[in-house]
Amino acid sequence: MTALLEVCDLERPGLGPIHLNFDAGECVTLMGRSGSGKALRLRAIADLDPNVGSLQIAGRERGEMPAQILAGVDPGDAVKYQLLIMFLIAGATGLGVMLAVFGGLWRLTDSRDRLRLERLAPATGGG
């Protein structure tokens, strides 16, 4: 059976490689003296600090899963959330482009929809 959390050769600056395997329902304690690197190791496992090595959760590499799934959200809900965010970004981009085009048309044309050439010429300072 695959371990729920498997850490293999996880290293970060200042700490040597660590190897860990945890099964579902297992309770683990990390103990050590003050300054021995407990928090640094946990930050490396949580991918909060730069590190190298392999970390698998339920048999999948951590890079294969979005943060919502890693946080325990239902994968279906995580996909819906990602799609919503992608559509919001696409909609905002489209709206911004439309505003830029219409703003340019409004600025460069007069009330009879003729091009205002004086607006195209670069501004020159008087003197």
pLDDT digits (tens, 9 = 90+) for 14-40: 888 989 898 888 888 888 898 888 888
DSSP β-ladder status, 15-22 and 60-61? unpaired
- Encode burial over 52-87: b for 16+ CB neighbours within 10 A, e otherwise: eeebbbeeeebeeeeebbeeeeeeeebeeeeeeeee
The model's confidence at residue 123, banded by pLDDT at 50, 70 and 90, is low
DSSP letter for 121, please: S
pLDDT tens digit string along 48-63? 888 888 888 878 787 7
pLDDT of residue 16: 85
Size of the chain in residues: 127
This prediction has a pTM of 0.48
Beta-strand ranges (E) seen in 58-106 are: 60-61
pLDDT tens digit string along 78-111? 778 778 888 888 989 999 999 999 988 888 888 8
Spell out the domain ranges in the chain: 5-65, 76-119
